[in-house]
Structure 1
Amino acid sequence: MKTLYDVQQLLKRFGIIVYMGKRLYDIELMKIELHRLHENGLMDKDEYLTAELILRREHRLELEKEAKNG
């Protein structure tokens, strides 16, 4: 797992499809859903941490992009 798309596919395995219309909001909701899956024991720690790091990176990049574009 290396990209946001990979995290989306992971969530899709659990029947979770996220689309709010704004990439930043999508990432934030994916983090919430990912946390809930891990909290309920549906995914192992390594998979959770990898996905969480990807979402953190994407969130940071999206914030930087928004700040740059004004």
Structure 2
Amino acid sequence: MYTYYDLLQQIKIYGTFIYTGDRESDLALITEEVKTLKSNGLFSSKEYSQAMVIIMQEKTRVQ
């Protein structure tokens, strides 16, 4: 997982589709979904770390 698109594809595997039309809201929802996937044991520590880095990069890009 290297890009925002890769992250979206990864969470789609678990049945989560996020699109609100507002990138900041999307990122907030994706952050919560990634945390949930990690707490449920579906994301490894490495995947969680990569996802959070991607989210932070996107948040920087949006602002």
Tell me the distance in 2 between the aligned counterparts of 1:25 and 1:43: 22
Provide the C-alpha distance between the structure 2 equivalents of 1:47 and 1:18, rounded to a whole number of angstroms: 18
TM-score by length of 2: 0.93
TM-score by length of 1: 0.85
Q: Quick one: percent identity of the two aligned structures?
A: 35
TM-align CA RMSD: 0.8
CA distance in 2: counterparts of 1:51 and 1:27, whole angstroms:
11
C-alpha distance in 1, partners of 2:13/2:25? Answer: 20
Secondary structure of 2:43's aligned partner: coil
Counterpart AA for 1:23: R
Gaps of 5+ in 1: 64-70
Structure 2 residues without counterparts, runs of 5 or longer? none
What number of residue pairs does the alignment pair up? 63
Higher Rg: 1
